[in-house]
Amino acid sequence: MSEEEQIRFLPYEEAVRVVAAIQEEEDIDDPDHRILTVYSRQEKELCWFDFEEVMRDAGIKEKDPDAKEKVTEYVMRHLPEWVLED
């Protein structure tokens, strides 16, 4: 991946200001696939993450009591800068 193609993430504090909700949803193109959709405070869909990838990358195991906090932390630290573009 070239430097131009490299994804740049929002600072954590800015992501917290922008994000209102992270919702687990069914992928409309694949009913057996789950995604995490990120919504702004204006109820606009900002982006989505693959559910299984987030669980793996965030180190979340089945029945993890801290899963919600870990997902939130992961998403807030991986929110691409382009979500602010209109």
What is the reported pTM? 0.88
68 inside domain: yes
List, for residues 9-27, the tens digit of each pLDDT value: 999 999 999 999 999 999 8
Number of domain units in the chain: 1
6 inside domain: no
List, for residues 14-67, the tens digit of each pLDDT value: 999 999 999 999 988 888 899 999 999 999 999 999 999 999 999 999 889 999
Backbone angles phi, psi at 39, to 5 degrees: -115, 145
b/e burial code for range 42-80 (CB count within 10 A of at least 16 → b): eeeebbebebeebbeebebeeeeeeeeeebeebbbebbe
78 inside domain: yes
- The first and second tokens of residue 73, run together, are 């932390």
2 inside domain: no
Domain span holding position 45:
12-84
pLDDT over threshold 60, residue 2 = no
CA 82 to chain centre: 13
Number of Cα atoms under 13 Å in the Cβ half of residue 4: 0
- Residue 69 parent element (H or E): helix 67-77
60 inside domain: yes
21 inside domain: yes
Specify whether the CB–CB gap between 22 and 72 falls below 8 A: yes
7 inside domain: no
